[in-house]
Amino acid sequence: MSVFDLTIAGAARALRAREISAVELAAAYNAAVEALNPRLNAYITPTPELALEQARAADRRLAGGGATPLTGIPIAMKDLFCTEGVRTTAASKILGNFVPPYESTVSARLKAAGAVMLGKANLDEFAMGSSNLTSAFGPVESPWKRHGAEARLAPGGSSGGSAAAVAARIALAATGTDTGGSIRQPAAFTGIAGIKPTYGRCSRFGVVAFASSLDQPGPMARNVEDNALMLSVMSGFDEKDSTSADRAVPDFTQALHRSVKGLKIGVPAEYRLEGTNPEILALWEQGIAWLRAEGAEIRDISLPHTKYGLPAYYIIAPAEASSNLARYDGVRYGLRVEGEDLIDLYERTRAEGFGAEVKRRILIGTYVLSHGYYDAYYLKAQKIRSLILRDFTDAFMEVDAILTPTAPSAAFGLDETMTDPLTMYLNDVFTVPASLAGVPAMSVPAGLSAAGLPLGLQVIGRHFDEETVFTVAAALERAAQFSALPQVRAE
Ligand code: GLN
């Protein structure tokens, strides 16, 4: 067995038993990053020296007492979290040389728990995308291959660097952010687990904003237990984020051992979409059968406004993005391209600093917020959002959790680039409704496609009931026994 086979829980035990030191663990992971990152491009900025420094501090803490389950655990930080003194790019040219003078709350909490940061993980530019193809630092390659094929595959997005790093075992776990699916879809594509917590559970302070009413940080890790360990540390009230929830944070690991017996699990009719890969529908049936076998009660439910979720999301998210991204003007920080006057400076900076997808979103967002279109698009989308929330509220009167597939297909090829942005947007069809409603949702690896690629199942829960999500996810994980590993990985 190598150190790369260890989960967080396993590594924490080994660290505490002094079978391995945090410095040894960090050095092994640093070497693996150095060997595999040139190919995978999962990290924009590896931070090997910082990792060793933090590992030395972790060893002192492990020796002196006061260690937490994350002390000495090497993780990747999505490059959307501001990290004091470490370049934070949001995978955009416009922040290409931005070194934040402060730390995001979530990364600060992980740091305080003693986690070791291996580097800043690649993503779609400003977290806009489902493929990692929009990064200004080049795409991430998935460590997975189809059987007998060499085509390079997408790790999903936007947290694709985080997902590829965890799957290829060049990070033990990672942070992600999820606005419309960016934790869950890449987790599904790469055979790992990831949870988007309830909106407000993890602070957004210091996370580069995309769509503020939807953005939510969360963990990505090899299994459900490691997610629970990460989330217990990442969560909690933060007075620096006005939408952060003042709620007690349970020890999420306690939920893993509860039985699903007697739980009511909803299966929404509207998620049986035409065009969904039959393998995915079959896996969904399998998931239903697994939970039923464990004593859960399966109920057919309806989420009637599901089909409006995607169009509403692709109005609300760009609207908020167009407003959030107005701050990148070349004056205060980030890229500056000089111009003849102030307006010219703004225009040149933004024209050069933003990539095509980000510009598309700013244009759409500005359009739907403009006079004469506001009522027709933005206001309408907000009304739909209320209806979608009501769908979930009604459903949760009858059931304790909802089971769906995570994505409508397995990973697609990097070179089978989708030229049509709409096709790419369709990838989020199963993840976006939970984002609009703000409810927690988790993807668990549940099987392989005929071509040998991972497929995920999604568990959706009530607001602030991540515990039931973890209980159901853990039951699925036990039944699925997913143990496949990608072809490219640290050994
Ligand atoms: N793929 C979706 C988008 O492009 C979701 C991205 C995300 O969750 N950050 O907006």
From the alpha carbon of 211, which atom of ligand 1 is closest? 9
Q: Is the CB of 431 under 6 A from ligand 1?
A: no
pTM over 0.85: yes
Q: Is the CB of 178 under 6 A from ligand 1?
A: yes
Q: Which fold has domain 3-256?
A: Amidase signature (AS) enzymes (3.90.1300)
Catalytic positions are: 78, 158, 182
pLDDT band for position 193 (50/70/90)? very high
Give dist(CA 107, CA 175) in Å, integer: 8
User: pLDDT digits over 24-50, tens only?
Assistant: 999 999 999 999 999 999 999 999 999
pLDDT band for position 419 (50/70/90)? low
Give dist(CA 104, CA 23) in Å, integer: 25
Kindly report the number of other CB atoms within 10 A of residue 449's CB atom. Answer: 17
Over residues 355-363, mean pLDDT? 97
Kindly report the number of other CB atoms within 10 A of residue 417's CB atom. Answer: 12
Ligand 1 centroid vs 425 CA: distance in angstroms?
Answer: 8
User: pLDDT digits over 229-276, tens only?
Assistant: 999 999 999 999 999 999 999 999 999 999 999 999 999 999 988 777
Q: Is the CB of 127 under 6 A from ligand 1?
A: yes
Q: Is the CB of 131 under 6 A from ligand 1?
A: no
CA 326, distance to chain mean position in Å, is 24
Q: Are strands 116-121 and 43-46 parallel, antiparallel or unpaired?
A: antiparallel
User: pLDDT digits over 154-172, tens only?
Assistant: 999 999 999 999 999 999 9
Residues 6 or more apart from 211 whose CB is under 8 A from it? Answer: 179, 316, 317, 318, 319, 320, 321, 324
Is the model's pLDDT at 418 over the cut of 70? no
Is the model's pLDDT at 422 over the cut of 80? no
Over residues 398-403, mean pLDDT? 98
Q: Is the CB of 129 under 6 A from ligand 1?
A: yes
Is the model's pLDDT at 420 over the cut of 80? no
Give dist(CA 433, CA 35) in Å, integer: 39
pLDDT band for position 1 (50/70/90)? confident
pLDDT of residue 387: 98
User: pLDDT digits over 425-461, tens only?
Assistant: 888 999 999 999 999 999 999 999 999 999 999 999 9
pLDDT band for position 122 (50/70/90)? very high
Q: Is the CB of 179 under 6 A from ligand 1?
A: yes
The rounded percent of the chain whose pLDDT value lies above 90 is 95
The edge-to-edge listing of strands for the beta sheet with 297-301 is: 43-46, 116-121, 74-78, 173-178, 216-221, 193-196, 441-448, 454-461, 401-405, 264-268, 297-301
pLDDT band for position 417 (50/70/90)? low
Give dist(CA 59, CA 22) in Å, integer: 6
User: pLDDT digits over 304-344, tens only?
Assistant: 999 999 999 999 999 999 999 999 999 988 999 999 999 99
Residues 6 or more apart from 66 whose CB is under 8 A from it? Answer: none
Query: Is 470 within 8 Å of 443 (Cβ atoms)?
Result: no
From the alpha carbon of 127, which atom of ligand 1 is closest? 9
Closest CA to 132 of 176, 99, 173: 176
From the alpha carbon of 185, which atom of ligand 1 is closest? 1
Kindly report the number of other CB atoms within 10 A of residue 289's CB atom. Answer: 12
Burial class (CB in 10 A: 0-12, 13-18, 19+), 234: buried
* H/E run at residue 450: none
Q: Is the CB of 90 under 6 A from ligand 1?
A: no
pLDDT band for position 346 (50/70/90)? very high
pLDDT band for position 13 (50/70/90)? very high
From the alpha carbon of 357, which atom of ligand 1 is closest? 4
Ligand 1 centroid vs 4 CA: distance in angstroms?
Answer: 30
Give dist(CA 159, CA 217) in Å, integer: 11
Is the model's pLDDT at 286 over the cut of 70? yes
Query: Is 107 within 8 Å of 81 (Cβ atoms)?
Result: yes
Ligand 1 centroid vs 155 CA: distance in angstroms?
Answer: 14
Question: Which residue from 78, 80, 124, 208 has its CB within 8 A of the most atoms of ligand 1, so it is best to mutate?
Answer: 124
257 in helix, strand or coil? helix
Closest CA to 105 of 217, 181, 212: 217
pLDDT of residue 277: 83
Tell me the average pLDDT of the chain. Answer: 96
pLDDT of residue 307: 94
